[in-house]
Amino acid sequence: MNPEGELRQMTVGPGLEGRRLDAVLAELLGDVTRSRVRGLMEGGRVSVNGAARKPAYKVRQGDVVELVIPPPPPMEPVPQPIPIDILYQDDALAVINKPPGLVVHPAVGNPDNTLVNALVYHFNELAEDGAGGEARPGLVHRLDKDTSGVMVIAKNEKSHAKLSNAFKDRRVSKEYLAVVYGTPYPAKGVWDTFFGRSPSDRKKFSSLVREGKRAITRYETILEAGGLSAQRIDLETGRTHQIRVHFADHNHPVVADTQYGSPRRVNSVTHPELRELVRGVTRQLLHARKLSFPHPVNGVEMTFEAPLREDMAAVLDLMEHIRREEKK
């Protein structure tokens, strides 16, 4: 048994060659649907002869296929007294400032100690209503583990449906703040690209693919100092890792992003004090700064801002100090 789930291995026999990989796997496994197979492939859990393949790959006789089927997460999250910063709440929703380092919902490798565990502890109505499903009650969107900032939580099914539709129909405005290496050119612009799984690493995403979903990121440089820049970002779409991928693919990775950046990039920071400060940063400097959406009950436009965490605020404060000194 693989620690990440059940490992299954099979060899493609005669009569199957030339067929799609996802169809063959679904047929051979019997207890896993074709859509589930595609989900496992997108998650980097399927390999053919040791290499990742797309669902449309045509299998050959003798191919050795391996896949890892993760154990299902607990259907009913256990309430845990994890502190959360509540910015606002009423009977329909709550708005929080998510801390960095907190996984949003239970999954393989993180069965508990997640934001969901905190939510069902702090909001009894979530535990009773299960808005949005038993596994992810209250969630209508998500932030990466090490991204901080504002999130809206639905307290009941009606609010969940209304808020989910608002996100789907792009009636939600999301503004982020990021500190990145270098400065994009032009200093204000928009990236409108395809977006999908990286062909070289199925656990990553890429905007350099030839086909995929559309991803639109608007950015504006609001501060430059010491080889870094602060970016105000508006998302028109909400793809997984979208900001991190777009900036990394344009050679301006988010500071301390270990998945899409390189630790050696810190050497490009030209100011000694700023460089040492950045060396001590332990998570990507990305913050969901502002969120605007129509209230699910009365439709009134609501806007919330989440204050910066100390690590990111310290870097920005030093950048502003350096900038002022340069202007003297």
Give the number of C-alpha atoms closer than 13 A to the C-alpha of residue 72, restricted to the C-beta side. Answer: 8
CA angle 141, 147, 152 (to 5 degrees): 30
Tokens standing for residue 257: 């992003």
Output the CA torsion sign for 104, 106, 110, 115: positive
* Residue 127: half-sphere exposure toward Cβ, Cα within 13 Å: 12
Residue where the block lists tokens 């700023």: 274
Active site residues: 144
As beta bridge partners, residue 206 has 196
* Whether 23 contacts 34, CB under 8 Å: yes
**H or E element at residue 319:** helix 310-327
Radius of gyration in angstroms for the set of CA atoms belonging to the chain, rounded to a whole number: 22
- Residue matched to tokens 């990236």: 191
